[in-house]
Amino acid sequence: MNRKTAKRFLLLHIAAVAAALLFPLYARFADFLSFGLPKCLLHDVFYVYCPLCGGTRAVEALLRLNLTDALRCNALVVAALPFALVFYLRAWRRLLRGESSLWRAPAWVWIAAVSVMVLFGVARNVLMIGFGIDPLGDLWPVWNGSPRACAY
Ligand SMILES: [Zn+2]
């Protein structure tokens, strides 16, 4: 086992545990922690969703074991979980085999991941703007011209 790689892998786990422990704090105080800056430029300035909009709420729902709510907030985050698990288990296997590059993946994997993200982002905005389908519910009032739009 490569000591340097194992050390980095251990540090990654420490960071992940710290992030998991701090996540409830972040989720609760996200507005305060953004210091008045837009949390998402596409959402706050252009009134469209980026592929990650609702991701924090989806993770929060997953931590409450509420899969329906997580899917409503951001289906991409939920759909990515099995792939992330496979990626993580592959990293463990590589570490145990003594390989130095734990996270390496063929280029097509990254291209497919980015393509899916872009398609998801386009699809959720087409559904919202074109058909009024907005499971997250943040932006449809803006496009619908309802009085609630004034809040944004
Ligand atoms: Zn966003």
Say which DSSP state 135 is in.
S
At 61-116, the pLDDT tens digits run: 998 899 999 999 999 999 999 999 998 899 888 888 888 888 888 999 999 999 99
How far does the centroid of ligand 1 lie from the alpha carbon of residue 8, in Å?
30
What is the rounded distance in angstroms from the CA atom of residue 14 to the CA atom of residue 61? 23
Distance in Å, CA 48 to ligand 1 centroid: 8
Burial of 88 by CB count in 10 Å (0-12 exposed, 13-18 middle, 19+ buried)? middle
CA distance 151 to 132: 19
- pTM tops 0.85: no
* Distance from the alpha carbon of residue 144 to the mean position of ligand 1, in angstroms: 19
- The pLDDT, as a whole number, for residue 134 is 94
Tokens of 28: 């609760």
If you measure from the C-alpha of residue 124 to the centroid of ligand 1, how many angstroms do you get, rounded to a whole number? 12
* Cα 138 to ligand 1 centroid, rounded to whole Å: 11
